[in-house]
Amino acid sequence: MVKQVRAARTRQALVLAAAEAFAHDGYARASLPAISKRAGVSAGALHFHFPSKDALAGEIETVAARRVEELAECCRSAGGSALEVLVAAIRRLVVTFATDPVVRAGFALSGDLSRDGGAAVLDWWHDWVRDVVGQAQRTGELTDGVSPEGVAVAVVAATVGFEALGSRDRDWLSKERMVEFWACLLPRLSSVPGRDPGAIEGEALGDRDPESSLAGL
């Protein structure tokens, strides 16, 4: 049992170290010796858990997809309208880009041409956004004439852009940029009469601490 716990910890440390190395140097430049050193693990232990760099990247994508899924569902189960859920989920995702190298690396790997591999996280994210926006339309929250597909396109493209831009310049992952983004987009989407879109932002972005409810992820 102690052995299993230790093995799980080693695995976690390797995934985190690899994500940090990928985020810092890109997939192609990150080396396995540097990753095992960063994780404080021997080269043998690394190879025992992950036979190749590609296997490590695959594990990062799996863990990242699971965390994004949990984050998104956590926003959904917190209640609120579909648009509130959407705003909260994107805010939390961008905060997570800044704080969780595994999630950021999962998104970045999906678009990293130096690696063959799927874009599972992106596909899942696009589906989820489409689903929530579709729900907003069904419940009459979406302004008449706004196409749910168009909203999903704008939101998914922007999310991927925030991650890519944030990898060079942390300002892109700041709360201020997120507020500016939603202040631009949200009033177009929300049909709720008398509902100040700023209020949705405030609740989703600031008044509740987005990190606190993510502590368990």
Footprint of a second copy (CB under 8 A): 22-29, 108, 110-115, 119, 122, 146-147, 149-151, 153-154, 156-162, 164-165, 167-169, 172, 177, 180-181, 183-185, 187-189
To a second copy, the closest distance from the beta carbon of 45 in angstroms equals 26
Of the two residues 17 and 151, which places its CB atom closer to a second copy in the complex? 151
The Cα–Cα gap between 89 and 71 comes to: 7
Structure tokens, 112? 């990293």
Specify the residue, 10 or 56, whose C-beta has the smaller distance to a second copy.
56
Q: Report DSSP state, residue 111.
A: T
Contact 125, 159 (CB under 8 A): yes
Minimum Å gap between C-beta 64 and a second copy is 16
Nearer to a second copy, 120 or 217 (CB): 120
| Shortest spacing between CB 3 and a second copy, in angstroms | 36
Q: Least distance in Å: CB of 23 to a second copy?
A: 7
State the minimum distance, in angstroms, from the CB of residue 43 to a second copy: 22
Sign of the torsion formed by the C-alpha atoms of 108, 159, 154 and 78 = positive
Contact indicator for 103, 95 with CB cutoff of 8 Å: no
Q: Who contacts 106 (Cβ-Cβ below 8 Å, separation ≥6)?
A: 19, 60, 61, 63, 64, 65, 67, 68, 121
Nearer to a second copy, 78 or 154 (CB): 154
